[in-house]
Amino acid sequence: MTKIRANGIEIEYKDIGPRDGVPLLYINGFGTQLTGWPEEYAQGFAKAGLRYIRFDNRDVGLTQKWTGQIPDLKAVGEALRNGRKPDIPYTLDNMAADAAALLDALGIESAHISGASMGGMIAQLVALNHPQKARSLISIFSTTSDRSLPPSSPEAQAALVTRPPSSDRDAVVAHSLKGRRAYASTRWPFDEARLSALVGRNFDRSYYPEGTSRQWAAVLAAPPRTERLKSLTIPSLVLHGSADTLIRPEAGRHTAQCIPGAEYHEIEGWGHDMPLEAIPVVQGYILPFVERVEARRRRAA
């Protein structure tokens, strides 16, 4: 893994696959490091010949932190209810600019832009705010942030925002596993041993709960992208799971409905996670989509 300066900050990134391969940028979700998903997910794209790029979002992992700038989440909510601009350290638009600038720093003119959950929101903003960088949009169990969409289940919401009882490694791992069960897939078994090891490795790499408060403020403050997405003209793929209790499948359907010509697939029994068994299913949609987009680009060229 390597650091690079982009958009005025230090960003930790990793890319695998052939340097001359078709670039696919993946943007992580809320509080998730670039090591948050199984390595097999990245390897699947590299083996298919893509240059797969992932990075730590600002305030997470080994990328630059905004230490000490603690947003008042109650004040953020009040400002939004009263139609005022909330006082927050940064926005999802800033995070989208990070992603676009990372591609520039790597000398990549454009890439397929993918992201999951909060990363899907950011990916949408890369496509909207930096259209020259996006060959396509791949939005994975994400949302338009439209206020009319159904909320998370109470259990999934609590799992997202409740802090562990202490910062002890075992306590953090146990808390994470308990939360993940609340929005896990129902189609595949919950692999506690594998997930425990994964969460433990991420804890050892960087445990930084302060950063999640700022990322959460950015998510809360993000205006709905419902109308803006209707102007999107690039090829778009939207994937969601029928068993997702954190961001309901209605949000995925709505995202696809807003984007002209978007391709939508709802995967039965998939939750808000990436079990090993889900990887070939998910990549079974993404890889052919990328190839179709690239084929059109070659014909146009």
pTM of the model: 0.97
Q: Is residue 167 part of a domain?
A: no
CB-side neighbour CA atoms (13 Å) of 68: 0
Q: Is residue 44 part of a domain?
A: yes
The secondary structure element, H or E, covering residue 15 is strand 9-16
Q: Is residue 54 part of a domain?
A: yes
- The tens digit of pLDDT for each residue in 32-87 reads 999 999 999 999 999 999 999 999 999 999 999 999 999 998 999 899 999 899 99
Q: Is residue 76 part of a domain?
A: yes
Q: Is residue 194 part of a domain?
A: no
**Domain, as residue range, for 264:** 2-151+210-300
pLDDT of residue 160: 87
By three-state DSSP, how is residue 122 classified?
helix
**Which residues, 6 or more positions from 151, have their beta carbon under 8 angstroms from its beta carbon?**
157, 248
pLDDT per residue of the chain (301 residues) written in tens, 0 to 9: 699 999 999 999 999 999 999 999 999 999 999 999 999 999 999 999 999 999 999 999 999 999 999 999 899 989 999 989 999 999 999 999 999 999 999 999 999 999 999 999 999 999 999 999 999 999 999 999 999 999 999 999 999 889 999 999 999 999 999 999 999 999 999 999 999 999 999 999 999 999 999 999 999 999 999 999 999 999 999 999 999 999 999 999 999 999 999 999 999 999 999 999 999 999 999 999 999 999 999 999 8
Q: Is residue 179 part of a domain?
A: no
Question: Could you identify the residue written with the tokens 């000490």?
Answer: 68
Q: Is residue 190 part of a domain?
A: no
- What is the DSSP code (8-state) at residue 298? H
Q: How many domains does the chain have?
A: 1
Cα–Cα distance for residue pair 57/99, rounded to 1 Å: 8
Which domain CATH number covers 10?
Answer: 3.40.50.1820
pLDDT of residue 69: 94
What string of DSSP letters covers 171-188? HHHHHHHHHHHHT--SSS
Four-residue CA torsion sign, 192, 195, 197, 203: negative
SS3 string, 252-285, reads: HHHHHHHCCCCEEEEECCCCCCCCHHHHHHHHHH
Q: Is residue 282 part of a domain?
A: yes
